[in-house]
Structure formats: structure tokens, C-alpha cells
Amino acid sequence: MHSMYFTEEHRLFRESLKDFLKKEVVPHLEKWEETGTIDRFIWKKFADMGYFGLATPEAYGGLGLDLFYTVILLEELQKINSGGFAAAMWAHAYLAMTHLNKNGNDYQKKTYLTPSVHGEKIGCLGVSEPFGGSDVAGMRTTAIKKGDRYIVNGSKTFITNGVYGDYTILAAKTDPSAGNKGISVFIVDLKSKGVTANKLNKLGWRASDTAELAFDNVEVPASNLMGVENKGFSYIMEAFALERLIMGVNAHARAEYALDYALQYMSERETFGKTINQYQALRHRIADLYADMDICRQYNYAVTYKMQKGEYVVKEATISKLRSTKMADEVAYECLQFLGGYGYIEDYPMARLLRDSRLGPIGGGTSEILREIIAKIVIDKKEYKPSKDL
């Protein structure tokens, strides 16, 4: 299936991953959904299987595999129907670790990246703020240099892994008067003096911990500055392309899971002497939903292919997230309807899937912000360039 992008090695990896998730993760999901805490042992098991190091070079403990292995990981995580568990895993591996892979120096990679690959340290990304949301340039958190340290003050919110994680990749203003040209990125240990975390109560993604982080005169060694001071905005924008493609892939996989479950249910549910998958009105709704899902899926694979080749896909990744998350919301809504009253019962998967899916058009850049980015590219001819070209 999908042989244009996936090899036999990819297929074998997918089967092994599905077996691992079924045996090692699924039996614990209900507990983690109820407690909002993912047991630490599973992080180590994930690491032992190499799942945190798919995109990390072998020199730092990873496997250095192509991006379609990441796509497989994302897809199969969605199909065990815990958006929170999936988010905790990919936020660590592809939000925090992406910055370490891309912009970390050798010391930072050995100190944070390699332990992250091995599941010994859990990372998160600290960009969004209580008063800013998607307005990255308007962030208020500051990092003022004093000698060989930076003093960090401010707050971040909606931070996946922020409560139980070990470090955050933190964006802060090192030159508050310079707007987006005064932002830098740091690695901050979450056990540092002056860091506090408040756990947020969410509609969905319940298995994952989501924090509001506060920083009160937190001392950060200058050696934990990532890349070049005041170049952080470009690093963040570059990483957003991957994050938005990830959320697009998550969305099409979530929709595929919802459709598969609904089709199975409809093939067994009988009314008026026949299964409900024989009613033309429902069949045609399924056809439309499947077509929308497959369009997004094929588009996301094409964008992944371009990113794998090294192309800068800001526009394409933004479109991926915008359209795929909207589609997944519609599919989740309709598939819950196909189950009738059972769709509203938590014992069936659609209620959770609908709650989890709703974050798609919000997290990682709201759909409103994404439309503005696309408008700037298409109408204003704005060019977004990789950090190395700035």
C-alpha cells in the first residue's frame, strides 16, 4: 500500500510498531487517560525500540532514518485512539528534539539529545504565552544576560510535557526592544530554581500533561543558548513547518481510524432488517468523507517527500495542517453520528476521538493564523526563508 512512498522495510517497521503498541501501550491507556500521567516506564520502552531516535543521527544514539518512518510512527500512534499519549511522544521527539538536532552544538546534543533518544530525559517546547498565543513575535518572556548566565523571567502556556518533563526548549526575548529580531532559544532544565509548573485541565488529550510554566529569575548557563543570539525567531519558524506537517499527518491518520471504526460498526448494526451500511444516504456520506481523508493523506505524503528532499515547505506544511485538521474534525463529527447514541457513550471510541480531534485546528498555530500565513505568501508574495539563508 502507498508503494510510491513506502518500501518493504517501511511495511515491516509499521507491523512491528503496531504489535508493540498493542502489547505495551494499549493495556495502560485507560489508566493514563484517567490520571493524566503517563508512567515513566513506557518512555524507556519506546526508547529501547528506537522510536525517539528515528530522525536523530547515529552519532548521537539515533537511527538516522528517512522521514517516512516518522510518518508511520505518527499514523500508528493516532490509531490507538489516545491523542494525549501520541502528543506526549511526538512533542518530545519532534518539538523538543528537533531543535536539538537542528541547532544544538555538540555539548548540547551530548547533554540533552542523546539522553532524550534513550528516554532518560523528556523534553518540551516553550513558545506560546498566556497573553500571546500564536503571536510569537509579541512574547514577553525575557532572558537578560549577566556574566556567563541569562536571567529568565516570564511564562509559557499550553506546554505538552511541561509538568513531568525534564527540560524545555525555551524562546525568550534577549533584546526586548527588537521585536522578532530579539528572540533567542535556550535549553532550560525544568528542575531549575524559580521554575514552577501548573497542570491544565483539558477537554481532550487527557493522557498528556499540559502545563503553564512560570520563570522567576531563573538562571540559565550561557552554554545553553542554542545557535546564535537573537536568531531564535527564524529557528522557531523553521521548526513550525515540521510541527504543522506532523499535525496534518496526525489528522489524516485520526480520520482514517474513525472511518475504519465507523465502517466496522455500520457493517454490524442492523435497523429495519438490514445493516446501516446499506442505506444510500449513509453510503454517500462515507464516500465523501473518505475522499476528503484520502486527498489530505496523499497531499501530506507529497509534502513529506519534498521535506525529505530538503525543500523548505512552509506554505505546503501550513496548508497541510489547515485542511487536514478541518477534515479530521468533520470526519470525527460524522462518524460519531453514524454510531447514534453509542457515539455519545465514553465506552465507545468516538467520544474521545472527537474531543482529541478538536485541538487540531487550535494547537501549533490556529487555523486563523495559518490562513493569514498563506494569504501573505499568496497575496503579498512574502518569502519565508530557512535560517541559514537569513
Annotate 363-388 with DSSP letters as a single string.
TTS-HHHHHHHHHHHHTS------GG
- Find how far residue 246's CA is from the centre of its chain: 6
Residue 22: the pLDDT is 98
Which cell numbers in the block locate residue 358? Answer: 478538536
Find residue 152's DSSP bridge partners. Answer: 143, 218
- Do the first three CATH levels of 124-231 and 233-389 match, i.e. the same topology? no
The gap from C-alpha 38 to its chain's centroid, in whole angstroms, comes to 17
Q: Which helix (H) or strand (E) holds 18?
A: helix 8-20
Give residue limits of the domains in the chain: 8-122, 124-231, 233-389
**Topology annotation, domain 233-389:** Butyryl-CoA Dehydrogenase, subunit A; domain 3 (1.20.140)
Query: How far apart, in whole angstroms, are the C-alpha atoms of residue 86 and residue 250?
Result: 9
Contact yes or no for 259/267 (Cβ under 8 A): no
Q: By CB neighbour count within 10 A (0-12 exposed, 13-18 middle, 19+ buried), where does 67 fall?
A: middle
Nearest to 289 by CA among 261, 331, 260: 331
Residue 96 confidence (pLDDT): 97
Dihedral (Cα; 172, 178, 180, 181), 10-degree rounding: -100
Residue 252: strand, helix, or coil:
helix
**What is the reported pLDDT for 388?**
65
Q: 8-122 in CATH: which number? A: 1.10.540.10
Region of residue 43 (phi > 0: left; psi between -120 and 50: alpha; otherwise: beta) = alpha
- Give the pLDDT score at 389: 53
Q: List phi, psi (to 5°) of 247.
A: -70, -30
Other CB atoms within a 10 A radius of the CB of residue 184 amount to: 23
- In angstroms, rounded to a whole number, what is the distance separating the alpha carbons of residues 76 and 98? 20
Q: What is the pLDDT along the chain (390 residues), one digit of tens a residue?
A: 557 999 999 999 999 999 999 999 999 999 999 999 999 999 999 999 999 999 999 999 999 999 999 999 999 999 999 999 999 999 999 999 999 999 999 999 999 999 999 999 999 999 999 987 767 888 999 999 999 999 999 999 999 999 999 999 999 999 999 999 999 999 999 999 999 999 999 999 999 999 999 999 999 999 999 999 999 999 998 999 999 999 999 999 999 999 999 999 999 999 999 999 999 999 999 999 999 999 999 999 999 999 999 999 999 999 999 999 999 999 999 999 999 999 999 999 999 999 999 999 999 999 999 999 999 999 999 988 776 655
Write out the catalytic residue numbers. Answer: 243
Please give the biggest Cα pair distance in the chain. 79
pLDDT of residue 386: 77
The dihedral formed by the CA atoms of 365, 241, 357 and 160, expressed in degrees to the nearest 10: -70
User: Pseudo-torsion of CA 329, 137, 90, 155, nearest 10°?
Assistant: -100
Quick one: CATH architecture of 124-231? Beta Barrel (2.40)
